[in-house]
Amino acid sequence: MGQAVSAPANRNVPANPSAVAAAAKKHVWGHFARHGEGIAPPVVVRGEGARIWDDAGRSYLDGLAGLFAVQVGHGRAELAEAAAAQTKELGYFPVWGYVTPPVAELAERLAGYAPGDLNRVFFTVSGSEAVESAWKLVKQYFKLVGKPTKHKVLSRSLAYHGTSQGALSITGLPGLKVPFEPLVPGGFRIPNTNFYRAPEAYASDYAAFGLWAADRIEEAILFEGPDSVAAVFLEPVQNTGGCFPPPPGYFQRVREICDRHDVLLVSDETICAFGRIGPMFACGQYGYTPDIITCAKGLTSGYAPIGAMIASERIFEPFADGTTVFMHGSTYGGHPVSAAVALANLDIFERERLNEHVAANAAAFKATLDRLLDLPIVGDVRGAGFFYGIELVKDKATKESFSPEESERVLRGFLSTALFEGGLYCRADDRAEPVVQLAPPLICGQREFDEMESILRSALTQAWSKL
C-alpha cells in the first residue's frame, strides 16, 4: 500500500483517441457537466492502484477515488473475476419475492458490520435511490404504527443527499433544486456543523457549537410539530461545503432528541461508509446507532452499481405480518453480479485490513494537508479519515469568501484545470463555500499524501495570484 504505480505511456490507449473524443462530443450528455464549443472533457482510459491514465498516456493521482468510491484502488482483477464468475452462474434475477445466493450472503455480511439491530437490508442501485427508499420507508412505517401524519424530514443546510425527486427534496442545496421545482413537499433545513463559520457566540467552543447545532433540530421538530416529523437525515461527515465533521457530543444529543419525539435517525453514509472515515460504518466512529443507514459507492469500490438501505428490526417489524408489503423496488436493486462484486470487495477490505490502514494513516493525511494553511488562499482544512475539504478564501483574517465572479474565474476557470494538468484528479466545488475536496483510495499512504500536497500547493499559489 502507498506505492504509486507506473506504466508505459501508451498502454491501453485507444487506437484512435480523436474518434473517442469526437463521439463523446457528439453524443455523450455528461452528468453535472457543461457542454458547448471549446469544452472537451478528458478521456480517461485506465486505472491502476491510486492512479488513472488518459488517452494520451498521461498519469494522474486519483485524489477523489473516482467519486468517493474506489476504496480498494483501480485495476483489481479479482473484482472483475467475481463479476464474470457470477455472470456465468446467474447473470440476473430480481429480488421481487425471490433471492439469489450472493444477495443473501451480502445482506448477512452488512448486517454483521452494522451497529445494534440494523439487520434488514434493502438493496438499491445507488445512494440517491437508497435515500429515496428510506424516506418512503419511514412514511409507510409511521402509517402502519398508527401515526400517519408523521411524514416530514429534516436535513442540514447545504447537505447533498441525491438527485431523484425525493432525495433532492432532502438535499439542502438551493441551486440544485430550483430547476426541478416543485419537489416533494416535506423537506426542511437545519444548521450544519461547519465550525469554521460557526455563530460568533460559539466560535471558540467546538463542543458547545455542536450542542447548539443539535438543539436546532429539536427546535425545528417542535416548530413543525412532533406529530408531523418522521425522520432526520444526516451524513456522519457532511460532504458539500467541504467535509464538516460532527463536534463532540453532537450525535449523542441528536439521538436523544430523536428518541424523545419518536423521530427516526437516518445515517446517510453513501460517502462515509466502507472505510472512508475508518470503520465500515462511520456512525461507529462517532458513537451513535441510527434507525436506518443508507450506503452505496464504496460497497463495490465503484466496480459495479449497488446501494443499500439497512433498517432496524423495529422498522421492519410492521412489515413482517405475512401480508403487509413495502411497496417499493427496482429492476436492478439487489443485482446478483453487483452483490458478488461487493462480497469480493469486502474480502479485500478484510484481507488487507484497509479499515485499520485508514485509522493508522488518517493523522498523517491531515498533517500533510495542514501544511497548506500557510498559503493566503487556504482558510480551513477539515475532515476525517481519508475525506478532507480545503476551504478557499480571499481574506484569511475576515474569512471573506469569493464573489460569484471570482469563483467562476478562479475555481472553474483556472483551478480545476490546473490541478488536473498538474497530475491530480480531485474536486474544486463551489456549490457552497469554495472548496477543494480530497478522498483518495484507501490504499494510499505518505507518498501519495505528499504528492497531493505538492500539486495543490503549486496550483493554489497560482490561483491566489489570479485573485
Q: Which of 321, 352, 383 is the last residue of a domain?
A: 352
Res 7 pLDDT > 80: no
Which residues contact residue 194 at a Cβ distance below 8 angstroms, ignoring those fewer than 6 apart?
A: 238, 241, 242, 244, 433
Verify that 231 and 365 share a domain, yes or no. Answer: no
Q: pLDDT, tens digit, for every residue of 123-172?
A: 999 999 999 999 999 999 999 999 999 999 999 999 999 999 999 999 99
Q: pLDDT, tens digit, for every residue of 284-325?
A: 999 999 999 999 999 999 999 999 999 999 999 999 999 999
Q: Which of 213-217, 411-415, 428-432 has the lowest mean pLDDT?
A: 428-432
Q: pLDDT, tens digit, for every residue of 75-110?
A: 999 999 999 999 999 999 999 999 999 999 999 999
- Residue 410 is given by DSSP the state I
Give the pLDDT of residue 431: 83
The count of other CB atoms within 10 Å of the CB of residue 373 is 12
CATH number at residue 216: 3.40.640.10
Give the pLDDT of residue 12: 55
> pLDDT over 90 for what percent of the chain?
91
Q: How far apart are CA 386 and CA 366, in angstroms?
A: 9
Phi, psi of 47 (to 5 degrees): -140, 145
In a domain, 83, yes or no: no
Mean local confidence (pLDDT), 25-44:
91
Verify that 64 and 99 share a domain, yes or no. Answer: no
Between 408 and 457, residue with greater pLDDT: 457
In a domain, 99, yes or no: yes
Give the pLDDT of residue 10: 46
Phi, psi of 409 (to 5 degrees): -75, -45
Mean local confidence (pLDDT), 212-220:
98
Give the pLDDT of residue 14: 57
**Amino acid at site 172:** G
Verify that 448 and 403 share a domain, yes or no. Answer: yes
**Amino acid at site 36:** G
Res 426 pLDDT > 70: yes
Which residues contact residue 38 at a Cβ distance below 8 angstroms, ignoring those fewer than 6 apart?
A: none
The secondary structure of 438-458, three-state, reads ECCCCCCCHHHHHHHHHHHHH
| 231 three-state secondary structure | strand
Res 13 pLDDT > 70: no
Q: pLDDT, tens digit, for every residue of 382-411?
A: 999 999 999 999 999 999 999 999 999 999
- Residue 49 is given by DSSP the state B
How many domains does the structure of the chain reveal?
Answer: 2
Give the pLDDT of residue 59: 97
Contact 126, 167 (CB under 8 A): no
Verify that 243 and 274 share a domain, yes or no. Answer: yes
| 57 three-state secondary structure | coil
The three cell numbers of residue 94 are 430480481
Q: How far apart are CA 416 and CA 225, in angstroms?
A: 44
Element spanning 143, H or E: helix 127-144
Which residues contact residue 417 at a Cβ distance below 8 angstroms, ignoring those fewer than 6 apart?
A: none
Local confidence band at 255 (pLDDT 50, 70, 90 cut-offs) = very high
Sign of CA dihedral 450, 436, 417, 35: positive
Give the pLDDT of residue 467: 82
Verify that 148 and 286 share a domain, yes or no. Answer: yes
| 338 three-state secondary structure | helix
Q: Which of 305, 334, 352 is the last residue of a domain?
A: 352
Domain containing 22 equals 18-75+354-465
Verify that 58 and 151 share a domain, yes or no. Answer: no
Element spanning 59, H or E: strand 59-62
Verify that 205 and 99 share a domain, yes or no. Answer: yes
In a domain, 12, yes or no: no
Q: How far apart are CA 359 and CA 349, in angstroms?
A: 13
Contact 293, 267 (CB under 8 A): yes
Verify that 156 and 167 share a domain, yes or no. Answer: yes
Which residues contact residue 122 at a Cβ distance below 8 angstroms, ignoring those fewer than 6 apart?
A: 133, 137, 308, 309, 310, 311, 326, 333
Q: Which of 352, 368, 393 is the last residue of a domain?
A: 352
Verify that 242 and 348 share a domain, yes or no. Answer: yes
Verify that 192 and 46 share a domain, yes or no. Answer: no
Contact 258, 290 (CB under 8 A): no
Give the pLDDT of residue 432: 84
Verify that 249 and 373 share a domain, yes or no. Answer: no
Q: pLDDT, tens digit, for every residue of 258-291?
A: 999 999 999 999 999 999 999 999 999 999 999 9
> pLDDT over 70 for what percent of the chain?
97
Verify that 229 and 167 share a domain, yes or no. Answer: yes
Local confidence band at 18 (pLDDT 50, 70, 90 cut-offs) = confident
In a domain, 150, yes or no: yes
In a domain, 403, yes or no: yes
